[in-house]
Structure formats: C-alpha cells, structure tokens
Structure 1
Amino acid sequence: MLKKAISFLTPNYQNLNWKTVFLILFLIAFFIRFPFFFRDYVDRDESTFIIMAQSWVDGYLPYTQLWDLKPPITFLFFAIIIKIFGKSFIAIRFFGVVLVALTALFTYGIGRQITSQKVSFWCSVFCVFLLSMFGSLQGVMSEHICTLFFVIGVYLLLSKESIGWYFVIGLLFGLAVMSKLNMAYPLLSLVIYLIWKSWANKQFWQRFQQLSFMGIGFIALIILTAIPYYLQGELQTWWESIFEAPIAYSGSKQHSLVKTLPFVIIVAGLLYAGFKSKVVDFKSKPIQLLTAIVIGVLLSFMQTGKVNGHYLIQLYPFILIPTGIAVSKLPAINQKYSLAFAFLLVLLPMEAYLEYGNVVSNKLKKGSFFNGEGIDVPNYIIENNIETKNIFFTEYHIGYWVLGKHPPTKAATHPSSIAREELFPYMKNPRETGMQELKYILETVQPKTIVARKGKRIFDKKLIEFNTYIDSYLAENYTLIKTIDRGLIYQRLE
C-alpha cells in the first residue's frame, strides 16, 4: 500500500516535459501562495513598489513624483499589471505565482544541462518552496523579478551558442540588474569566469565575440530605461536615482561583515566539502559557472552587511542544483521512512495553511476575504468620510494605493526614507535633514489624518530623536479616533 501511494505521488521522470513540469510547479506555487492573494501587504517594500508603479501609470516616471531606492524595471513590472488589471491585489499576487513557477522551471532547465531529470525536477520543486515560504517571500519582491531574468539568462548561456542568443542573454542580464542593482555582483563574477575559462581553453576570440554581443544587449537595455527620461528632460534624474543614490546610500552605512560571515562561511564550506569529496564534480563547466554566480551573490551579501530572508531568493536557484546532485548520491531512503519524508514535505508550507485559516476567519468575522490593516483602515476612512487630504501613513502605507492618494512628500514614499537624509539630494528634496523633513510634514503640510501601528515605534528604535518628537507632536496635536486591530487612526485637533 505504501509503495503504491508513493508511486502514485511520484511523477514518471522519463515522461516529463517542460509543459508538464511547469504545470506541476505552477500548481504547487499557486497552492502555497494563494491565501496571500488577499493580504494587504506581506512586506513594506512591496507596498512601495505598488505605489511607485501607480504613479507611473498616472503618467509620472519613477523618481519624478515619488521616490524609492530601486531601479525602474521593478516598478515597470507592477505598473504593467496595474495598467492592465487595475488596482488588484489578486492580479499582483497571481503574477507573483507566475514569477516563482517560471524561475523554478528554468532552474529545472539549468539542472537538465548538468544532472538527471529526477534531480532537476526536485530542485525545481524545492525552488518553489524556498521562493514562497518564510518571512516576506509570499509577497512580490524585487528579488523575485531580478532572479527570474537572471535564471533565464543562465539557462540560455548553457544551452545556446549563437551570437544572436548572446544579445538576448545580455538583455536579460540587463533586466536583472535594472530590477535590483546588486545582481551586478554575480554578473561580474560570471563574466570573469567566462573570460578566464575561454583563455584557459584557448577559445578567447570566440568567447570575446559572444561576450561582446552580450555586453551590447546589456548596454542596450540600460539605454532603453534612459530614453523616457531623456524625452522628458529628466536624464539627470535617471542617472542620479539609479546609480548615484545607491552608492551614496551604501557608503553611508556601517557594513558589518561579522553578520554575514557565518552564513557565507557555511555556504562556501558546504560547496568546498562537496567538491573535495567529489560528490559534486567541480570539473563540470556548468557547475563551475553556477559556483561563480554563487560567489558573486555571496559577495553582494557581504557588501550589504546583512542577509535578509528575501535576499536569499537570489541564491536559491543556483545553490539548489549542486545541493540536489550531492543529495542524490546519498544512500536511498529506506521505504519505511519514505512516508515520513512525504509527510514532512506536506507540512513544509505551514505558513500557507495558517493563512488559509486566517482568510476564512476574516471572511466569517468581517465578511471579506481581503484582510489586514492596510485594507481595513482605508475602508473605515472611506466609510466614515474621514479627511484624506495630505494623509500620512507611518505604517500600512499600501493605504495610499487603496485610497487613491499620494504620500505627503517624496521622502515619505517609504516611511523609513524620511530618516535617510543621505538620499535627499537625489530626490531633489529641499530639506537637508530627516528631522527637517518630519517637521515639514507635521508642522507645514499638517495632515488631517495620520495612521500608525499599535505597539510599534514609528521610526527605528535607534532614531530616538525622531520618535520622541513625533510621539510628543501626536500627543499635543492629534487625538486617537479609532483602533482597528493594530491600526491607529489619529485626527488632527482643530
């Protein structure tokens, strides 16, 4: 009976094709991510991408009306969805499923260049899991977008030889970098590896031609993102916001290698152990290529000085394949443990099961599948005709999108950016310091309504001056009129 059950749940690997694999991966991704279609937000960055995209749909190029520290392709992804489907959480999260399923599919494709159908398939399945679970990964993050482009580029790099395809590969790598700039690190390490390998194999001229066309494709994509700004006389805004601002932001932070070194050492150590034991064949060119990419991603983590959960999206597709190869060479699981393994696999998406329960509970209590203060607070504001002119969301800023409003200033697009004064010159912000910006919002703009979060300081706990000032100002000039779950709605005193 056990053998029959496992056989039924296990695909016939020899009969797998790309369409079948994609369908399986899509259904898994859809099942895990579906309950989050109705959540107001999963990560604050996703909310920022959405309101930046809405501004673009309204006719304003990124960085001209609102501002955020991300390249424009991330905003373009959301803007296309909003333009076609309108203000739809479901549409945005659905295309998040598509992103994850396609990334896993091309991970499968890369695996097929290196290892067996079975190993490639399971690597792609775990890619869906890892890109959809833990923390903020159920939202649509910039890492989901850039990783898809990069994975497709790597697949084509391993499977195509013609110069025309290398131009396409360059376009894809350009899309990846212009979705999230730190993808320049794995791209650079990949190019260095390709040059070194061609020199060692005395194929430098052939590789030089291919890489030249890849470079042309990459540069062409960068230029394409600049053209709309050139046509509107905003080329300097494009350059400063995309390239200069991240450098200034990076230079202003005290990076802590200590925080990233343990993770980097563990990953590098596991790779080294796999190669040293010959469980993973380091002589394989595709394995070497994936290793170069992993090294580049790890270097980007070290430069950032932290390893957030959503950063790992950029690592998973490339580390899963050597991991899968290593695991496949371990002794086969005893049949009596197979059911336990299958049971653990079913339990993995526990967050999804809990969210299904949350969606049903919200429907029973409030009559709507859509849930979260980012939806409930704006709905209360609309239903009670509360003043929304210059409304200021210090939390749940997806509420701007729900209400059809904009943040009071560029710096307030993402609430935390108010304290990032090193970025103000690139926003063309007339205020010089974060405290001046906060005082301008509260004392000059004077929003009639402010939304905050119960039990959470408005600014990072290290920003004592900011928190002290805004807490005092709220106490003197605002009154709390409604608490909705953890959402606090303050009304300005007359």
Structure 2
Amino acid sequence: MVFDLRNTTFIDLKSRTVFLFLFLLAFVIRAPFFFRDYIDRDESTFILMGQSWVEGHLPYTELWDLKPPMTFLFFAGIIYAFGKSFVAIRIFGTLVVAITSFFTFKIGKEIGGSKLGIWTAIACTILQSLFGSLQGVMSEHLSVAFLTPALFIILKYHKYYWYGLAGILLGLTVMTKLNLAYAVLILGLFLLYRSFAEKQLKEGLRNLIFLGFGTILVILLTILPYYQNGLTALWWRSVILAPLEYAAANRGSLLDVLPTCIIIMAFFLWAWKKNFLDFKNRHVQVLFVTVIGILFSFVRGGKINGHYLIQIYPVLLVLVGLIFVSIPLVHRFTWKPYYLFVLLLVPMESYLEYYAIIKHKVEKGTFFNGEGIAVPQYLKAQNLDTSNILFLEYHIGYWLLDKKPLTKISTHPSNICKVEMFPYSGTTRKTAMEEITYLLEDIKPNLVITRDKENIFAKENVTENAYTRNYLNQNYSIIKKLDHAEIWQRLN
C-alpha cells in the first residue's frame, strides 16, 4: 500500500490491510473507555439481559427490555465465552465498529474508488466512537454492522444466492434494531420498483424473493425458542408490539427530528441541483433510499439521540463523500503537513480518557473506574447485605454483585416510568406510582442506589420524583457517597 500525502492517492489497497488499519484506529480511539463501568445505561441493560440468557432464561422471561433478541445474544455470547469482562465486551464492540467501517470502505470503493472508500471509512470509525456515549457498545453499532455488508452485497452482486445472504444480514439488522425495519421495507420496495423500471422483472423478483426469504428466516429463528416453550405471544408483545407502542407514545417531538431531516434533504437537493450527485446512478439510488428509510424511522420515533445517528453514518458518509469530491473547489485543495496535526486533535476525548485512567491507576491501583464499579466494591468491602438491593442508577452494579433487578420492568431503571411499556413487560402494575410503591413499600429493599441529583427519574415525572425522594428521606439514610453515587440504607 502506498499513501502519498501530496496527492492523497491510494495504490494497491488490500482488504485485509484496510480492515487491520480500521480496527487499530477504532482500538486506539476506544481503548481507554474499556475500563468504565458504563458509558450509556442501555449498554448496562444489554449486559444484564445477556447474563440472564447465559443462565438459561430467554430474553423477556426473567428480565425485560424492548430491544430485539439479537442484541442480547451478542452480549450473551461474549459473557458465555469470557465471563464478566468489560474489556471483552468493549473489544468485540471495537471489532463491530471496524466491520461497519470496512464495509463502508467497500461501498465507497465500489462507487467512487479507494480514496473515497478509505476516507469515508476513517470518518465512519471516528463518528461511531466519539462524541457523547458512543464509546459503549450500543444496539445501533450492532445493527449497522449487519446493514452495511448487506448493502454492499446488493450493490456489488446480482445473483439470487447473494441476495439470500443479504436478506439474512437484513434480518439480523431488524432483529437487532427494530426501527430499521422501515429502512429495510423501503429499500425492498425500491428494488421492486427498479425491477419494473429496468424491465428485469424476472431476475428482480427472484432476487427479492431470496432477499425476503433470508430476512424472514432470521426472524422466524428468533421466534423458534419461544415457540418451543409456548411463549410465542411473549415474543410478539416484547419484540413487535412494545417498540411500536413506544414509538407511538412519541416521547419526543417532531420539532426534535425535523430539523435534522430537513438539513440532510436540503443538502441532497442542493447537490442534485448543482449536479454534484448523480441520482441516475443505481448505487447512489440504493444508498439514498436507505437514508430516506432511516430518516423515516427517526420521524416515526419522534426523536434523535446521539447514538441513533450511528445508523445513518455509513450510507450518509459515502454520499457526502461523493458530493465532496465533485465540488470544483475541492480539486484545488492541496495537502499541508499541518493538516495531520489537526486530524490528530480529533480524538481529544480519547486523550483525556487515557490521562484519566492512568491517573486513576496511580491513585486507586486499578484502571477500572466509575460509580457502577465503586459501589459494588464498597458494599462487598463493608460486608453489607445485598440480597435485596435496588439500583435506580448505576444498575450495572447488579451484574458485579451477582444480583438481579427486583422486577422485570426495573431492569432498565428508566422503564419504571414508561407506563406504555407495562402491558408488554408482564408487570401487573398499571402506573409508574404503583411500580415505585411496590418496589419501595412492598419489597422494601435494604439498600437503594441513586445519583446525587434532584430528579431520580426523568424530569417530566414530577410526582414520581417527589414521592421517591420523600420516601427515601423518611425511611432511609445515606451511609456513603462515592463520587456521584448515593448509597441509601433502610432505617431499622
């Protein structure tokens, strides 16, 4: 491989070299975060669900969350093979990021050459790993690791058996992140339309049949263990109905989503008007339709969190890259050595985290850090009874203490106040206040872990926050504060 900084040409880029480079880039950026207790609370929930599966409990039977089962299977597989290891989970997360970036490279190379492919892949690695809570292993990371190779196969190959493989990958995509079903459906309809438009109906229909068969096969395989145990209705409620209800509840607002969608679509309209993007190109059409499908899923959900955008980065970056290299001004761009210094400043979050973990190692004797780790360590050191403990924050502590959430709906603490989820989780309580009352007054946990902030739940849950804080003040006392964690012990 030759990389000439003067004209940024790439010669003889071998796939294995590119993959190794992207993995090492992702590893360097993400490695200092391997030792945190959690980076996003969803990751902690996935770990708990995976651990439960390893112990013989199908998802949604003992613990509950509304993600599809393939997300939990990823974590279960790692825990089964490597035990309770944050490092193993984050290394496999790094591998997932590298896979997505590699197929972003392959798509970019297929459309615009190696130069476009490598730069979009580098950008994809960075955007999947920095800014916000992206250093953890999220369901979005897993879903696009299936989606990008599926898109590459659809762009590159035209045989029915390749479409069957792409269908399997799309099935895994949907069973990892259900909202991407909109993108998959819209893409399928577009491919059907294109078969009619190009008068290749026989070949097009055959490919689509195999694409659909592969997708449906994966979905049916996730149902199979539930069917064998007479729990098909539980799968249906948890995997299909609960996410649909969650989206319908529209916990966000269109005003949170539309600006992003409008900006992206306006950018493409400008590129089309300026002839910077050829929408007659079959590859461009597939990627653009995929972008539309993902944006539609955001609109249906009513909000866009930072980690949601992971789903759109690969396809969007390739299209933006195509537009970028078509702009005449870009062709007058010349590489300057100091640009490398600017690029090295991009992963500033990683540099700060490297410093933080080294400092923590010097002061505490371990790289592992965070209240989710410190609290269980303290409880064990003080020999406190943890048989009846409630984590309203830092719930990764259940995993480290070999304990389970006290109720299914409290597996992820935020679900306690998401009443639209209650009918699908199996809880008999009808309201958030009933669930909180049951946890505190009926189960009466010996220990409760909270964060030192005014609101225990989301700020809009005014009644629930006031009741819980008041109940804790009357019936518990804080026996220890560890950074932002409060450890409450029941009086008498």
Report TM bin, short chain: over 0.9
Change (3 A) 1:362 1:201: same
For 1:177, the equivalent position in structure 2 comes to 174
1:319-334 to structure 2, matched below 5 A, reads 319-330=316-327, 331-332=330-331, 334=333
- 8 Å CA contact 1:105–1:124 kept in 2: the answer is yes
1:233 aligns with 2:230: yes
- 8 Å CA contact 1:255–1:303 kept in 2: the answer is no
1:57-456 to structure 2, matched below 5 A, reads 57-253=54-250, 255-330=252-327, 331-332=330-331, 334-335=333-334, 338-456=336-454
Offset, 1:254: 5.3
- 8 Å CA contact 1:29–1:97 kept in 2: the answer is yes
1:311-337, Cα deviation, whole Å (9 max, x unpaired):
1001000011121122223434654x6
Offset, 1:297: 0.7
- 8 Å CA contact 1:119–1:324 kept in 2: the answer is yes
1:53 to 50, 54, 74: 50
For 2:460, the equivalent position in structure 1 comes to 462
Partner of 1:408, secondary structure, is coil
1:19-34 to structure 2, matched below 5 A, reads 19-34=16-31
Distance (Å, rounded) in 2 between the aligned partners of 1:270 and 1:367: 50
Distance (Å, rounded) in 1 between the aligned partners of 2:19 and 2:123: 14
Partner of 2:480, secondary structure, is strand
Partner of 1:114, secondary structure, is helix
Offset, 1:436: 0.6
Distance (Å, rounded) in 2 between the aligned partners of 1:63 and 1:83: 19
For 1:3, the equivalent position in structure 2 comes to none
Change (3 A) 1:456 1:338: farther
What's the TM-score once normalised by structure 1's chain length?
0.96
Q: Which runs of 5+ in 1 are unaligned?
A: 1-5
- 8 Å CA contact 1:112–1:120 kept in 2: the answer is yes
- 8 Å CA contact 2:254–2:299 kept in 1: the answer is yes
Offset, 1:8: 6.8
1:128-160, Cα deviation, whole Å (9 max, x unpaired):
001111101100000000111011111111112
1:184-236, Cα deviation, whole Å (9 max, x unpaired):
11111211211111111111121011101111111111110011111112111
Distance (Å, rounded) in 2 between the aligned partners of 1:95 and 1:131: 14
1:404-423, Cα deviation, whole Å (9 max, x unpaired):
10011001100011111222
For 2:39, the equivalent position in structure 1 comes to 42
Distance (Å, rounded) in 2 between the aligned partners of 1:340 and 1:56: 51
More deviation, 417-426/392-401: 417-426
- 8 Å CA contact 1:229–1:235 kept in 2: the answer is yes
Same amino acid, percent of matched pairs: 47
Q: Read off the aligned partner of 2:103 and give its amino acid letter.
A: F
More deviation, 452-461/388-397: 452-461
Q: Read off the aligned partner of 1:380 and give its amino acid letter.
A: Y
- 8 Å CA contact 1:479–1:493 kept in 2: the answer is yes
Change (3 A) 1:364 1:456: farther
Offset, 1:113: 1.6
Offset, 1:256: 1.8
- 8 Å CA contact 1:102–1:148 kept in 2: the answer is yes
- 8 Å CA contact 1:166–1:214 kept in 2: the answer is yes
Partner of 1:450, secondary structure, is strand
Partner of 2:57, secondary structure, is coil
1:70-109, Cα deviation, whole Å (9 max, x unpaired):
0000000010000000000000000111000010000111
1:447-473, Cα deviation, whole Å (9 max, x unpaired):
101111112511111111111111111
Partner of 1:483, secondary structure, is strand
Change (3 A) 1:105 1:30: same
Distance (Å, rounded) in 2 between the aligned partners of 1:85 and 1:204: 49
Q: Which runs of 5+ in 2 are unaligned?
A: none
Change (3 A) 1:10 1:402: farther
Distance (Å, rounded) in 1 between the aligned partners of 2:125 and 2:482: 34
Q: Read off the aligned partner of 2:383 and give its amino acid letter.
A: N
- 8 Å CA contact 1:391–1:447 kept in 2: the answer is yes
Distance (Å, rounded) in 2 between the aligned partners of 1:442 and 1:41: 25
More deviation, 156-165/366-375: 156-165
1:16 aligns with 2:18: no
Distance (Å, rounded) in 2 between the aligned partners of 1:235 and 1:9: 60
Distance (Å, rounded) in 1 between the aligned partners of 2:6 and 2:101: 19
Distance (Å, rounded) in 2 between the aligned partners of 1:215 and 1:324: 30
Offset, 1:169: 1.1
- 8 Å CA contact 2:251–2:303 kept in 1: the answer is no
Distance (Å, rounded) in 1 between the aligned partners of 2:267 and 2:337: 28
Partner of 1:41, secondary structure, is coil
- 8 Å CA contact 2:247–2:302 kept in 1: the answer is no
How many residue pairs end up in the alignment? 489
What's the TM-score once normalised by structure 2's chain length?
0.97
- 8 Å CA contact 2:4–2:10 kept in 1: the answer is no
